[in-house]
Every structure is written in C-alpha cells, then in structure tokens.
Structure 1
Amino acid sequence: MTGYEDGVPGYLTFRVIPQEGPVAAFAEQEAWQARELYPDLNGLALAEFFYAKELDSGGWALSKHLSDAPQGARDSLGHHFRMRAARARDEGDERAHAEWTAAALRMDREVIDEVRVRGERFRIVRASRFLRTGPDGPEPPRPSDPDPAEAGEAHTLPSRIEGHVIDPRLGTGLADGLLRLDLLRFLGAVPGAPAGLREDALDAAERCPGGVLLPAVFMISERVDGRWQAFHPGASDDTPQGARDGLTTWLRVMAPFTLVMTDEDRAAYARAADLLDEQRCDDLVVDGRWFRVSRVERLVRLGPDGPEGPRPHDFDPDPPVAVQNERSADGGRWRAGDDGDGDDEDDEDLPNPVVEQQVRELQVLWEQELARRAAARERRADRRRGARGRTGPAEG
C-alpha cells in the first residue's frame, strides 16, 4: 500500500491511534454513543480566546486564562509579560526586564494578536464552541468526563487547559478524529448573528483548513419557549461541577438580587440549589425553569502558520486598557443616566442611596453564600475524620 503521509502538510494531519486502558476505551465508547444520541452539531455565537506560546519542539502551548473576547486574552498576555519582567528584574537581567516591560506597555495600547519578545512567539488563539443536541436537548456530561470536585469547590481545581499543546501530530481516538472532521466542515451561523460571521467562517475554512480539539468544557443551558439556549452565553467551566457551582451561586445570590422575588420564591430557589449540591444532577427544574449542565466541544482551526487568531467580526467591545483609561479621563467619570452629551459638568459625584443599598444587599447575599460553603467544607471534613477513625487500627 502506498503511503501519502509525507506529502500532507502538518496542519492537515489526522493521527488516529488505539485508545489504551479501560478509561480511555470507555471514553471512546461514549463518544461513539454520543454521535447516535446527539447527532446534531450547533455552533455557539461566542468563541473562546487564549494566548499561546509557540514551542521549539512544535505546536503551541495554551495559557489557562480564557476570555469570551479577544481583548481579554490580550490583557492576560500583557499581564504575563509583566510577570516575566518582574522575574527578570529579580534575577538582575536589566535588558530582559526592559524588553518584557516594553512588550507589556505595547499590549496596553495596541490591538495585537501576535508578538515576538526575546525570541519567543506569542499569539491570541481562537477556539470555536459547539453543542451536540438530540431529541431530548443538548448533550449532558458523560460519565467519563473528569468531575472530581466537591460541591462549591470546583474553583479550587487546577486548570485543565494550562499548557495544553495544540499540535495535530498528537494522536487521537477514532471518534474524536471523526468529530474533528465534522467540526471542520461546520460553517453554519447562529440564527440572528451578523452577516459578517458567515463570511468570516468561510474565510477561516480556506485559511485554516486543519484543526485540533480541546478538552470539552461545560455550561448551563435553559429551555425557553420550547427551545434550548445558553443561560450565560460566554461562560463555561472545566468540569460539570464548575457549571453546577455557577448555577447554585446564581440561585442563591444573583437571582434574589436581580429578580423580584417573594420569601417563598427565595426559599424555593435555595432548596433547588441544595438539591443540585446534594445530588450533583445535570437537570434541574425550579419555578417552571428547566436548566441543564451541557457538554461543549471546542475546536481550534490550524493553517500553515499555526492556530487561527481572532476573526474580524468576533465580539470584541473593549479597547486596550490604556485607551480605556484615556477615554475615561477625557470624558470624565461615567454615571448611570449619563447620556454622553457632555452637558453634565455641573453634576457632582454624590452618594446614591439606592445604589449603596443594592451594594449592601449583594454583599450580604454573597457573605451568606461564603459562610454556607465554609460550613459545608467543615461538615465534609468532619465526615472524613469520622471515617478515618472508624477504619483505623483496633487497639488491643
């Protein structure tokens, strides 16, 4: 048989290898089942953005900092440059300190999606997001998806994406290989999205015809008027428990703060949050609202020069931080009710009793939630201590 692999560009490589070990085999089986149970792929309007560093060995290593807009990733890269500058200063390398500091200051002022500093190449990387759906709605987490955190503690886990290498030469299972093909062919636009998004997608398919999958993330979907939609479109978590924790925080803190609720309503939402903590379920109905923890697939497109960066029509509302500060200084402090016509020069920054009351209310709700989490941690610790005592060696 003739081999053609030597003539295929690296960014178009699909390397399928057997998945060894019982866990990997189980995950592969689940991936095949998902293709049957949730056959439809739906693009999410908001992509995710990281900064990545090109590796001498090939591929690009992702940072753990993600954002739903390119500028958030640029800000994270600027912060990384500041940390490198501080390290160089501590090591007495003044030249390195000056170069890293200059790079950080440049990120503060310019919209930059690729930069090289001291021989290291960095890029803002775009990851498209997709939901699998079937007759019963979006795909929930799979049993093989890592989910080690206790309720309320998902934020303490290390990032699953930090240091993840984007390299099409790395092996994948057959199911994931087919998923890559499916997602690379996906050019659909979200209903109601700006027209430019489809043109961006067509252009990306031509410039970056290859791609790699990132580990799945998880979000909350809500069924509204007979259709499923993202509850917080830009939010996602490394684990199913992270998504549950976000929903319980909303039920206990933000819902009472933002919605008009009776005491009975608040109690019902709190009970629903308790149920979600206790049962770690993926579907929850409260006050007629149906929520689901949903599994999100992610794809980074690749071209001859590496991973895809931001697209022209991606959501990116904020300018670099130095530009924001200059605009704020030029225009004065923005206040609620300011129509931006510049005729409010005589207004004084007087305390607003309504705003102050709202801030206090939110602070009380959040402090109650933190106290509840601390008490839950202590109860779990007591149970673990009791279990160790019961299983310890018997005294003679």
Structure 2
Amino acid sequence: MAFDADQVPDHLLIKIEQGDHPVSVVSEDDARNRWAAYPTTMWGAPVFGSAQEVDGRWRIVRLNADTLQDARDSLASHFRKLHSETPPTAENAAARAEYERIYELLDWEPINEPTVNGFRYRIIRAQTFIRMGPDGPEPPRPTDPDPHAPGTTDRSTSHLDGFIIDPTASTGLTDGLVRMEMISASYPPDAVPADMRADSRRALTTHPNVVLLPVGYTIGACIDGSWRPRSSITYATPQDVRDAESFSVGSQPDENTPMEEYVAAYQRARAKHKPPRTNEFEVRGVPCRVTRIETFVRVGPDGPEGPRPSDPNGHLPPARLMQEPDPD
C-alpha cells in the first residue's frame, strides 16, 4: 500500500535527520568506515523481555532473558517490586491488590499480554546481530561512548531499561540505513529450523518496521579459528565488559573454606587488580575481543513484536514447575 508523505502510519515511519554537529558528522563517517571493514551481518540469538504501554508508546521494562518464561518471571518480579513500593494505604489498596493478583497469576500461567492497573504490558522479543570482517567481529567504534575509568562501572541496571520503542523518533543517516536493511531481514535459509524460518518471514508482514535499541557490548572468543560469544550477557559500555572480564578467581574454595574467608580474599585481590583498557586480550590462551552488539525490535500497528510460536519457551511457570516435571 502506498501513502502520501504526510499520511504514513506511525508504525511505518523512518524519520532521518542529518545532524551538522561535529560529533554527529564524525560518528556517521566512523559507521561508514566500519561497514566497509565489517561487511557481513551475523544474527545472534533473540532476547526476550517485557514492555509497558505509556501514552501510546511502549517502554521497555526489562530485556535480558534467554527464554519467554524467563521474561515472564522477570515481569512477575517487577510487579512484586511495584507492590512492595506502593504504600499500604486505603487509597492504594486496589492497586496493591492488582499487583498481587497478577504476579500470583504469572507464577502459574504463561501470560504474554496482561493489563495491570490500567496499563498494558507485553512480553516482547528483540533480535541481536553483529558485524563480521576478515579479522573477526566488530570491536567498539572510536566514537562509541566509553566514559568510565577502569574499575568504576556500575552494572546493577541495564542500559535498555526504560527505553522508548518509538518508530517515529528521528534517527541519523547511518541508523536509518541500518533500519532499512533490517526491515527486510529474516533468518537465512538453513540457518535455523523450518518453523523458526517461517515465523521470521511472517514477521516481515505482521511487524513491518524496526526500531534500533542502544548498542551493547560483549566478549567474543576465537576458539579453533571460529569466533563465538564468551558470554550471553550484554553490557552498556566497552568498559563494563572489560571490568566484568578482567578479574577472575584462580581457584574455587574447597568445601572446608569458610565463605567469609573466601570473600575477604576475593575483595583483597580485587582491590589490588588494575584492569586493562583494551579491546583485545587473552583468557587462558584464548584470543578475546570486546564485541559490538546491535539489537532491533520489530514493530507493527499495535506496537512491538511479541512471542513467536517457535521461540524457546523455557521452563514451566514456577508454581507449576514445583508440581509437574519440566518438559525439557
């Protein structure tokens, strides 16, 4: 279907604005250079989480789960937190009861789209990908923000928490080109089972636009000449990754070591450790690289894409898991 320029539905918009700020110009040039150096796109595993609709836009609550049920469990925890943070007054009684009702229901049932205290929530899926070149995966770009000194990062929250999934938000030229590239992207043939491939193709119609999420970073490891993720965790900045990977305890405590002694020794060693500020290093002889992770969410007329039939469901809801054998 064709639309006039001023009649394009919000969920189909890609609004590109070319900035003239020097940092913006350098970032755009940086991206073009990296596309030439790392021309191949390699898809990673999907990531799952939840979002809340606020004033017609969807806001990410949490997006860090490997399976759908992990995302539902995380959403239940979110409602438990809201329940505990809502003062137990008479005027809040109904809201607190609703939070309690929904988190208890999520303990039993695999619900993907609850409405709670007048707000819609949804279990959502996002797709990760990296760019590969002759020397391996793309490392951080020179213009990527990396503000923290070694050992000073805070990894207690995710850089995706609270992000607004807004297809109408203005974007730069290179991000706009990435969005257009991913609009028609689906799982490559023979890369995944037939049902996953079919669901991927179907999503091009049901959710025909994409929104890029903030870039993250992880560790890639070159094992037997092949690069693979060393960790499934994605961090907000390159230094978050370096801090997470730079220190490890050489041996685990034996069963006779008091835990307080082990923790004290760990803290002393950590205080002496000075993590390097580098993107290339070795772990036990294995070449590793801080790797740039890009992520997008598909969007349709009713917001971000939810679960697909072929998505990994994971374990049963926790209350049922205690009563029934895990199907996996």
TM-score (norm 1): 0.71
C-alpha displacement of 1:287: 4.3
C-alpha displacement of 1:211: 0.9
C-alpha displacement of 1:16: 0.2
In structure 2, the partner of 1:18 is 18
Once the two structures are superposed, residues 318-346 of structure 1 have per-residue CA deviations (whole angstroms, 9 ceiling, x without a partner) of 12121122237xx9xxxxxxxxxxxxxxx
| Pairing of 1:201-212 with structure 2 (within 5 A) | 201-212=200-211
| Pairing of 1:86-165 with structure 2 (within 5 A) | 86-92=84-90, 93-156=92-155, 159-165=158-164
Letter in 2 for 1:98: A
Letter in 2 for 1:7: Q
Q: Distance in 1 between matches of 2:70 and 2:97?
A: 24
In structure 2, the partner of 1:4 is 4
C-alpha displacement of 1:286: 4.4
- CA spacing shift, 1:107–1:20, aligned 2, 3 Å: farther
Q: Distance in 1 between matches of 2:10 and 2:89?
A: 38
In structure 2, the partner of 1:325 is 322
In structure 1, the partner of 2:67 is 69
What SS does the aligned partner of 2:291 have?
A: strand
Task: Indicate conservation of the 8 Å contact 2:70/2:314, yes or no.
Answer: no
* Equivalent residues, number: 307
> Which is worse superposed, 141-150 or 115-124?
141-150
Task: Indicate conservation of the 8 Å contact 1:43/1:189, yes or no.
Answer: no
Q: Distance in 2 between matches of 1:14 and 1:27?
A: 19
In structure 2, the partner of 1:213 is 212
Letter in 1 for 2:31: A
Letter in 2 for 1:126: R
Once the two structures are superposed, residues 182-214 of structure 1 have per-residue CA deviations (whole angstroms, 9 ceiling, x without a partner) of 122221349664332211211211211111000
Once the two structures are superposed, residues 47-95 of structure 1 have per-residue CA deviations (whole angstroms, 9 ceiling, x without a partner) of 1122111111x32111245212222221121122222333445243212
Task: Indicate conservation of the 8 Å contact 2:189/2:197, yes or no.
Answer: no
What SS does the aligned partner of 2:114 have?
A: strand
Task: Indicate conservation of the 8 Å contact 1:65/1:76, yes or no.
Answer: no
- CA spacing shift, 1:241–1:73, aligned 2, 3 Å: same
Letter in 2 for 1:315: P
Q: Distance in 2 between matches of 1:195 and 1:203?
A: 12
Once the two structures are superposed, residues 125-148 of structure 1 have per-residue CA deviations (whole angstroms, 9 ceiling, x without a partner) of 211000011111110011222222
Once the two structures are superposed, residues 286-309 of structure 1 have per-residue CA deviations (whole angstroms, 9 ceiling, x without a partner) of 444111110011010001111011
Task: Indicate conservation of the 8 Å contact 1:43/1:190, yes or no.
Answer: no
Unaligned runs of 5+ in 2: 253-269
- CA spacing shift, 1:41–1:65, aligned 2, 3 Å: closer
Q: Distance in 1 between matches of 2:104 and 2:127?
A: 29
In structure 1, the partner of 2:246 is 248
In structure 2, the partner of 1:316 is 313
In structure 2, the partner of 1:33 is 33
C-alpha displacement of 1:243: 1.8
TM-score (norm 2): 0.85
What SS does the aligned partner of 1:279 have?
A: coil
C-alpha displacement of 1:237: 1.0
Letter in 2 for 1:155: D
In structure 2, the partner of 1:377 is none
Task: Indicate conservation of the 8 Å contact 2:49/2:125, yes or no.
Answer: yes
Letter in 1 for 2:11: Y
In structure 1, the partner of 2:266 is none
Q: Distance in 2 between matches of 1:131 and 1:191?
A: 19
Task: Indicate conservation of the 8 Å contact 2:242/2:275, yes or no.
Answer: no
C-alpha displacement of 1:96: 1.6
C-alpha displacement of 1:42: 0.7
Letter in 1 for 2:239: Q
What SS does the aligned partner of 1:18 have?
A: coil
Task: Indicate conservation of the 8 Å contact 1:60/1:167, yes or no.
Answer: yes
> Which is worse superposed, 150-159 or 181-190?
150-159
Q: Distance in 1 between matches of 2:116 and 2:220?
A: 41
Which has more strand, going by share of residues? 2
| Pairing of 1:232-311 with structure 2 (within 5 A) | 232=231, 234-249=232-247, 252-253=248-249, 256-257=251-252, 278-311=275-308
> Which is worse superposed, 101-110 or 195-204?
195-204
Q: Distance in 1 between matches of 2:140 and 2:47?
A: 20
Task: Indicate conservation of the 8 Å contact 1:19/1:28, yes or no.
Answer: no
> Which is worse superposed, 140-149 or 204-213?
140-149
> Which is worse superposed, 318-327 or 296-305?
318-327
Q: Distance in 2 between matches of 1:63 and 1:146?
A: 23
Letter in 2 for 1:179: V
> Which is worse superposed, 130-139 or 87-96?
87-96
Q: Distance in 2 between matches of 1:240 and 1:190?
A: 33
What SS does the aligned partner of 1:104 have?
A: helix
In structure 1, the partner of 2:173 is 174
Higher relative contact order (CA 8 A, sep 6+): 2
Letter in 1 for 2:225: G
Once the two structures are superposed, residues 143-182 of structure 1 have per-residue CA deviations (whole angstroms, 9 ceiling, x without a partner) of 2222223334423575422221101110000100001111
What SS does the aligned partner of 2:323 have?
A: helix
